[in-house]
């Protein structure tokens, strides 16, 4: 787990870390590819919520170049298949995510990210 769909929703939320706090940078990761059921309604419904550039950049870092740099206006089946694969089938199982701004490290253990903040990072 930590699929890219989730990664695309998570920003650093430490106190006073409000700019350049997204996307979190993956480090020392182990990937797994797991097949997921394809659902075009789900994908289309989710597209307006995506930060496209962050998604494409992260996918490319992980070695997947199937997505276009710009979010297309018209979606076809081929595009949806690629989006499905990137969002739902790539799982980051181990490693960490680092905030580009404050450098907080969020560790990932057995596919579950620990997004808790330390005492000095909360208000």
Task: Point out which residues bind other proteins (CB under 8 A).
Answer: 1-3, 5-6, 8-13, 22, 34-37, 39, 41-46, 49, 51, 88, 107, 110-120, 122
* ∠ Cα 16 106 87 (to 5°): 105
Q: Which residues pair with 80 in a beta bridge?
A: none
* 3 vs 81, beta carbon nearer other proteins: 3
* 67 vs 88, beta carbon nearer other proteins: 88
Task: Give least dist CB 92 to other proteins, A.
Answer: 10
Q: What are phi and psi of 15, to 5 degrees?
A: -55, 135
Task: Give least dist CB 41 to other proteins, A.
Answer: 3
Distance CA 75, CA 66 (A): 14
Task: Give least dist CB 90 to other proteins, A.
Answer: 12
* 12 vs 67, beta carbon nearer other proteins: 12
Residue 96: C-alpha distances to residues 20, 27, 52, 66, 83 (Å):
18, 5, 21, 24, 23
């Amino acid at each position: 787990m930590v699929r890219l769909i989730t990664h695309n929703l998570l920003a650093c939320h430490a106190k006073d870390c409000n700019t350049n706090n997204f996307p979190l940078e993956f480090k020392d990761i182990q990937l797994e590819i797991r097949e997921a059921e394809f659902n075009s309604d789900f994908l289309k419904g989710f597209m307006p919520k995506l930060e496209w550039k962050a998604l494409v950049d992260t996918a490319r870092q992980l070695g997947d170049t199937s997505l276009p740099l710009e979010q297309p206006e018209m979606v076809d089946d081929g595009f949806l298949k690629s989006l499905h694969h990137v969002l739902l089938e790539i799982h980051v199982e181990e490693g960490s995510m680092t905030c580009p701004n404050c450098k907080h490290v969020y560790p990932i253990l057995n596919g579950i990210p620990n997004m808790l903040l330390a005492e000095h990072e909360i208000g």
